[in-house]
């Protein structure tokens, strides 16, 4: 939960709502990463017959992403990036957004692209919010996990999977009844834990003292965030979703998926966060979609071929509807001379390259939004497979004003895994 945000409160911390007349200077004001587990087969997103780069204007999108057909002019389908160096197999976990070697149970070796962007995009109260969607059993048993995002080596960032807990964190201070009582009880507990941890840590030495210091710092950030949100309660009231039975009496796990998405959207629209990371399957081989009529779940889904598979068509269509909802909601909020969507980039891919048990040789990605012409859109781009996912992350960082030639890739690694340097010219306008 470490957020490291300054305590100053003002309209500058809510760029989405301040309706600044300045507009975007040419890069994203917010970025959304949406990762579906078990892989993203290119045949489920590349229009039939398209083998070479070209316009999507006259192409018909495949059935799994057909919901995006009305938004083709905002879409850029990219095939031919690779993640060989991340050793994905079932998943590279943090390596999917970090662009480095990763595996189950292996801590992150560096910051991930979503965290790096949260440091340079317009400041917000909670620069980075991670949401994890999974089976109901997993979301209840382990509501916060860390599998995809990291602020540095050995510093994972939690993903929120229980919408009730996330709602309490974001809107507990402006709620009433049971939500308010739970929020106050949790706040009191966190305050007490911070005090106890601080007192206990003072008696330790060396590495133990450092680890305890990180623990204390985490609770300090949680408590500080709660206080800052409380100071802008009147502003937040405009964006808090309505709590219904899907929160407390969900029939299927997709009920929680839907309200988690609503909470993420509300955090973006209110200006509370500038980076949203959504992990469907939470970077693991788990996940369930019983609410879509899909009875299979978890690891078994990864052993099914995705093209023309009615099960995977349902899951990908569900993802596509979520992408449409994100765009429509951001389009509804004025910003500068346009809307929030005009200044937003959505990155859709998988934490598992093209399939389960992959070597990462091809890693399809879809971009939505052109950020006032910064990114090319309405296109399909076929690359030659010699540039890594790191190059895309370098491109996004460049668009946000950060000059870098390589993201999380040493020159030694680049000699083996990257045929070029700097951003992807095929992506930037």
Closest of 250, 278, 245 to residue 137, by C-alpha: 250
pLDDT at 232 (0 to 100): 83
The per-residue pLDDT for range 183-242, each reduced to its tens digit, is 555 655 555 655 655 565 566 566 665 555 555 555 556 656 767 787 788 888 899 999
Between CA 37 and CA 352 the distance in angstroms is: 6
pLDDT at 197 (0 to 100): 59
H helices of 270-376, in order, are: 310-331
Between CA 327 and CA 68 the distance in angstroms is: 10
**Nearest-5° Cα angle at 115, 142 to 281:** 35
pLDDT at 178 (0 to 100): 65
Between CA 123 and CA 104 the distance in angstroms is: 33
**Nearest-5° Cα angle at 60, 57 to 63:** 145
The per-residue pLDDT for range 374-394, each reduced to its tens digit, is 999 999 999 999 999 999 999
387 contacts 418 by C-beta, under 8 angstroms: yes
Average pLDDT over residues 160-172: 91
pLDDT at 201 (0 to 100): 55
**Is the model more confident about 382 or about 26?**
382
Q: How far is CA 257 from the centre of its chain?
A: 14
Q: E-assigned strands of 38-197?
A: 54-55, 75-82, 128-133, 144-145, 150-152, 155-156, 159-160
pLDDT at 231 (0 to 100): 79
pLDDT at 1 (0 to 100): 36
Greatest Cα pair distance, the chain, in angstroms, is 69
Domain edges within the chain: 26-109+126-132+142-161+273-320+336-357+396-421
Q: Helix, strand or coil for residue 345?
A: strand
Between CA 55 and CA 315 the distance in angstroms is: 26
Instruction: With 0.85 as the threshold, say if the pTM is over it.
Output: yes
Tell me, letter by letter, the H, E, C secondary structure of 200-248: HHCCCCHHHHHHHHHHHHHHHHHHHHHHHHHHCHHHHCCCCCCCCHHHH
Quickly state the pLDDT bin for 247 (edges 50, 70, 90): very high
The per-residue pLDDT for range 264-317, each reduced to its tens digit, is 999 999 999 999 999 999 999 999 999 999 999 988 999 999 999 999 999 999
Between CA 363 and CA 349 the distance in angstroms is: 8
Between CA 197 and CA 190 the distance in angstroms is: 10
**Nearest-5° Cα angle at 327, 254 to 44:** 65
DSSP labels for 356-377? TTB--S---EEEE--TTTTB--
Is the predicted pLDDT of residue 125 greater than 60, yes or no? yes
Average pLDDT over residues 158-179: 82
Partners of 77 in beta bridges: 366, 380
Between CA 393 and CA 406 the distance in angstroms is: 9
Mean pLDDT of the chain: 87
């Amino acid at each position: 939960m470490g957020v490291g945000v300054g305590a100053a409160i003002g309209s500058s911390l809510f760029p989405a709502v301040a309706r600044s007349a300045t507009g975007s200077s040419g890069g994203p004001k917010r970025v959304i990463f949406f990762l579906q587990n078990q892989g993203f087969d290119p045949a489920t997103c590349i229009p039939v017959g398209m083998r070479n780069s070209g316009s999507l204007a006259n192409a018909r999108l495949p059935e799994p992403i057909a919901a995006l057909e009305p938004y083709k002019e905002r879409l850029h389908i990219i095939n031919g990036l690779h993640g060989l160096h991340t050793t994905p197999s079932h998943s590279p976990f943090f390596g999917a957004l970090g662009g480095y070697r990763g595996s189950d149970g292996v801590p992150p070796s560096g910051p991930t692209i979503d965290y790096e962007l949260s440091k340079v995009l317009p400041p917000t109260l909670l620069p980075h919010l991670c949401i994890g969607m999974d089976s109901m059993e997993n979301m209840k048993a382990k509501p916060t996990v860390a599998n995809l995002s990291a602020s540095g080596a050995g510093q994972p960032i939690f993903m929120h999977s229980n919408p009730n807990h996330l709602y309490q964190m974001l809107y507990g201070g402006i709620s009433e009844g049971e939500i308010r009582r739970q929020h106050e009880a949790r706040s009191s507990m966190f305050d007490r834990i911070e005090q106890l941890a601080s007192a206990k840590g003072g008696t330790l030495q060396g590495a133990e003292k450092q680890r305890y210091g990180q623990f204390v710092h985490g609770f300090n950030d949680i408590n500080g965030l709660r206080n800052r949100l409380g100071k802008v309660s009147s502003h937040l009231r405009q964006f808090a979703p309505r709590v219904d039975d899907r929160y407390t009496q969900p029939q299927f796990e997709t009920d929680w998926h839907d309200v988690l998405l609503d909470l993420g959207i509300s955090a973006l629209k209110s200006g509370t966060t500038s980076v949203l990371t959504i992990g469907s399957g939470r970077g693991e081989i788990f996940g369930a979609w019983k609410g879509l009529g899909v009875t299979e779940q978890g690891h078994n889904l990864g052993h099914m071929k995705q093209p023309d598979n009615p099960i995977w068509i349902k899951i990908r269509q569900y993802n596509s509807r979520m992408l449409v909802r994100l765009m429509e909601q951001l389009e509804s909020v004025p910003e500068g001379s346009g809307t929030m969507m005009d200044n937003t980039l959505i990155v859709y891919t998988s934490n598992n390259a093209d399939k389960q048990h992959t070597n990462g040789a091809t890693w399809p990605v879809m971009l939505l939004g052109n950020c006032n012409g910064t990114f090319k859109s309405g296109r399909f781009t076929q690359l030659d497979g010699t540039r890594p996912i790191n190059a895309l992350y370098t491109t996004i960082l460049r668009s946000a004003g950060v000059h870098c030639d390589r993201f999380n890739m040493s020159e030694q690694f680049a000699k083996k895994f990257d045929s070029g340097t700097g951003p992807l010219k095929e992506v930037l306008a």
